[in-house]
A and B are shown apart, each in its own frame.
Chain A
Amino acid sequence: MHWVTFLLVGLIFTSSSIAQTVTGRVSSSTIGTEETVAYTLEISNADASDVSSLTPPSAEGLTLVSANPSRSTNMSITNGQVSRSVSYTWHYRPQQEGEAKILETSVSIGDQSFTAQPVTITVVPQSQRPARQNRRRSPFGGFSLFDDPFTDEPPPEVTPQDIFIRAAQSTGEAFLNEQITLEYTLYFRPGTSPRNSRQSDSWDAEGFWREDLELPENQTANLVVENGLQYQTVTIRRVAVFPTRAGELSIDPLNIAAEVRPPNGDPFSSFFSNSYTTVERASPTINILSKALPSGAPDGFTGAVGQFTLTSELNQTELEVGEALQLSVTVEGSGNIALVEAPQPDFPGIFEIYDPEVQVSKTTMGNVIGGRKTFTWLLIPRTNGRFDMPPIEFAFFDPSITEYVVRSSNLDPITVTGTVSPSMATASTASGFPVDDIAVLKRNPQWISATRSPLYQHLWFYALFIVPLIGLAITAIISHRIKRIETDTAWARNRKAHPLARKHLKTAKQLLKDGDPDQFYAALEQSILGFLGNRLNIFERGLTRMQLDGHLSEFGITDQQRQQLLIFLDTCDAARFAPIPPEKSLMEEHLDQAGQILSSLGHQIDSVVT
């Protein structure tokens, strides 16, 4: 141990106008059952003469060793500012293992009263304490002025309370792709003087896109009191992370290794000590709830989250076919600009479009990541005309208002003049068509009706089917009749009975007009006998009246009809051979009678045959 003394000369105290603060701290928050703990009440910006009504703080589980505190004063000059403080230290001895507490205490400075917060101390069995606490103590208490510098005792250990990392996050839950700022701060006890600190292990934030934020140069340590212990703090890393998936996400601890001097409560000995030891410390794991973006995303939304503006610009609005047109679209604002995707304008099809060129510049405003991303398209018109350019739209989610926002930027119409020159024509395929483009026009149309319907809805289609079938059916019928006529004599004679009878009657009628009674009655007789011969399939020539009567009787012709027929035939014979021809009126009566007989016999024979 080295001790030096120094004098401060010629300092002018001007502290009366500066506000006082009162802080209570302990030498260690964990002590063994055989150790003592020192409680220091530090009053800043005050002299001992200003302090009144100072009493030892009350304690639970601790016994005050001496009611008279040791007093020390301190004065420092930082950046021309003079500060001074007075400290009072009491020592307490633990009564038993467990939690002990030094209660809050009040002190009066002038006419003002200040209160120091209570401090909790953990008392553990002495065997659990490091060896340094078991070493032989100087009879002068906490001072080590008379310690043997060549002792073989092991150096004191650095506890997790002496140096640790604390991680802070800007928020515990965020939307997908929303920025969260993480800050890792190293806490170390005065006197530990960490040096050569470095990250000892890889650090990952799976499920996040991350961007490191710059730390200020020439960072100075801040003094803070944590749970009654005084610490110095330094920010060692600051990171902006953006969740890339929804759900519960964890960020690995940040591990660092540093060389530190074990704290022994004596700033002078610590300052001149060279006994550095390497310690490793890890920050706590950070848990973040990543929320999915709400439904109802507008068209064209590709996942951008933040606050952005949109601008667009055409380098010209009048150009010739084949000339390049440049469209620049710039998205600017706060958010993860690296993940912003190009808008998808619905360009007119006349343009040959090339993939956009992308330029990104990131900026940090405080702890907020942002920047500008410019997409530049090259468009080449293939044909002339005036074309309306589509509005450029960019959609993003604004977490500050939890709404989707669509920025829009309008473009002026484009006028393309000129025509495609042969040299500008695109390459052709083997078939002569342009590569990667359509061949626009076809000539020589072959016109057809616009109201075409399938074949089965046309009547003519069925007619073409049916007409041959009908012809075939007629052919079959005719063929059948001809064959029957050739083979079935009775049927053939029966078929022609009526026509022949009608023919003979017609002849008879003509003969009546001609005044030929002989042939007239021959025709009448022929019509009746021929009819009966054909219908009954008998040979009527040379048939006697008796034979005829017999055949008629076989076919069920009634006696009355037979008598009528025979009488009529006799009448005809008589008239044919009479010397005086009958009157014309009588002949007409006989003609009618012949018709009636034929009709009557026809019906009778039909009824018998069927």
Chain B
Amino acid sequence: MMWLLVLGVPCGLLQAQQLEDALPLFDEANQLVEAGAYQEAIDLYLSVMNTGYVSGALYHNLASTYFRMDEIGQAVRYYERARRLIGDDPQLIHNIQIVESRIQNPFSQLPKPFWRAWWDQWFGQHHVLPYLIAGLGFYFMACILFAQLLWSTTRSAWHRRVRRFALSLGLALLLVAVLISHDQTTPKGASILTPITIDTENERIDVPEGIKVTVVNESEEDILIRLPNGVQGLVDPEVLGEF
């Protein structure tokens, strides 16, 4: 027990200190945005990220500031990061629509696989914690019912149905929690930070700034991306902003 205290207390204090550092920087950066000092505000927002803590509001404000600087690619990048944390926020949705309307997207979007569209619709904007707690609750309940089964000599169909239901629901909720956590922590794609031209076997394709692409394969020298229309091509890592 002592070692928990020895390790836990300093860690807790350190985290509290980091949060105390982050909040004033965040507020100061917001004031700089209101004063029109966008580049300074961006520098401060990035320093907030270096404290080890982020938030949907931080990504949102950083993206808005990049938008004011007319850096559409960076704006798309950080709005998409904010979408992971506060995807159902109306202000964020409004801003994303505005930014996307400024992008001259020449590509037709390939349709999503049905399972992906279904996932995005039902779970894409949810948080992991409710699913995790509910899943663990049902799982523990199923374990207790199994334990009772071991002690008890009586068998009833009602008991069996409750046991199976709790186990199935618990595991399903935990699976959803795992998938949501994977979805929210794994890079989904990247935005084009500066206009580029991609050479394919048949043509040269101009890709405007702000287009969202999928990273297919990475190497140190270049990255294979897939455009919204499915065409793939190699680009320099520096022109991509991962989100």
B178 touching A440 by the CB < 8 A rule?
Answer: no
> Counting CB contacts under 8 A, is B215 at the interface?
no
> Counting CB contacts under 8 A, is A441 at the interface?
yes
B67 touching A349 by the CB < 8 A rule?
Answer: yes
A383: nearest residue on chain B (CB-CB)?
A: B36
Q: How far is the CA of A449 from the CA of B92 in the complex (A)?
A: 21
Q: How far is the CB of A184 from chain B (nearest CB, A)?
A: 42
A447 touching B22 by the CB < 8 A rule?
Answer: yes
A residues 442-476 near B (Cβ < 8 Å) are 442-456, 464-465, 468-469, 471-472, 475-476
A350 touching B128 by the CB < 8 A rule?
Answer: no
> Counting CB contacts under 8 A, is A385 at the interface?
yes
Known: A455-B177, A472-B147. A439 touches B91 (CB 8 A): yes
Contacts of A439 in B (CB 8 A): 64, 91, 94-95
A445: contacting residue among B56, B132, B150, CB under 8 A: B56
B153: nearest residue on chain A (CB-CB)?
A: A483
Q: How far is the CB of A296 from chain B (nearest CB, A)?
A: 11
B residues 13-55 near A (Cβ < 8 Å) are 19, 22-23, 26, 30, 33-38, 49, 51-55
Q: How far is the CA of A441 from the CA of B98 in the complex (A)?
A: 15
A450: nearest residue on chain B (CB-CB)?
A: B54
A residues 376-390 near B (Cβ < 8 Å) are 383-385
Contacts of A447 in B (CB 8 A): 19, 22-23, 53-55
B94 touching A438 by the CB < 8 A rule?
Answer: yes
Interface size class of A (residues with CB under 8 A): 35 or more
Task: Bits for B105-147, please: 1 = Cβ < 8 Å to A, else 0.
Answer: 0000000000000000000000010001000100110010011
> Counting CB contacts under 8 A, is B164 at the interface?
no
Q: How far is the CA of A469 from the CA of B142 in the complex (A)?
A: 11
Interface residue SS majority, chain B? helix
Contacts of B49 in A (CB 8 A): 450
A475: contacting residue among B60, B68, B147, CB under 8 A: B147
Interface residue SS majority, chain A? loop
> Counting CB contacts under 8 A, is B231 at the interface?
no
A442 touching B140 by the CB < 8 A rule?
Answer: no
A454 touching B94 by the CB < 8 A rule?
Answer: no
Q: How far is the CA of A80 from the CA of B119 in the complex (A)?
A: 98
> Counting CB contacts under 8 A, is B69 at the interface?
yes
B52 touching A449 by the CB < 8 A rule?
Answer: yes
> Counting CB contacts under 8 A, is A402 at the interface?
no
A448 touching B177 by the CB < 8 A rule?
Answer: no
> Counting CB contacts under 8 A, is A431 at the interface?
yes
B136: nearest residue on chain A (CB-CB)?
A: A464
B61: nearest residue on chain A (CB-CB)?
A: A441
Contacts of A438 in B (CB 8 A): 64, 67, 94-95, 98-99
Q: How far is the CB of B60 from chain A (nearest CB, A)?
A: 5
Contacts of A453 in B (CB 8 A): 185
Contacts of B56 in A (CB 8 A): 442, 445-446
Known: A441-B34, A445-B26, A454-B178. A383 touches B68 (CB 8 A): yes
> Counting CB contacts under 8 A, is B160 at the interface?
no
A residues 403-462 near B (Cβ < 8 Å) are 416, 429, 431, 433, 436-456
Interface pairs A-B: 5 shortest CB-CB: A385-B36, A445-B55, A349-B70, A468-B143, A445-B57
20 pairs from A and B in contact (CB 8 Å cutoff):
A349-B71, A349-B72, A429-B94, A431-B91, A438-B67, A438-B99, A439-B64, A440-B68, A441-B64, A442-B56, A446-B56, A447-B54, A448-B53, A448-B54, A449-B54, A453-B185, A454-B181, A471-B143, A471-B147, A472-B143
B residues apposed to A, CB below 8 Å: 19, 22-23, 26, 30, 33-38, 49, 51-58, 60-61, 64-65, 67-72, 85, 89-92, 94-95, 98-99, 128, 132, 136, 139-140, 143, 146-147, 150-151, 177-178, 181-182, 184-186, 195
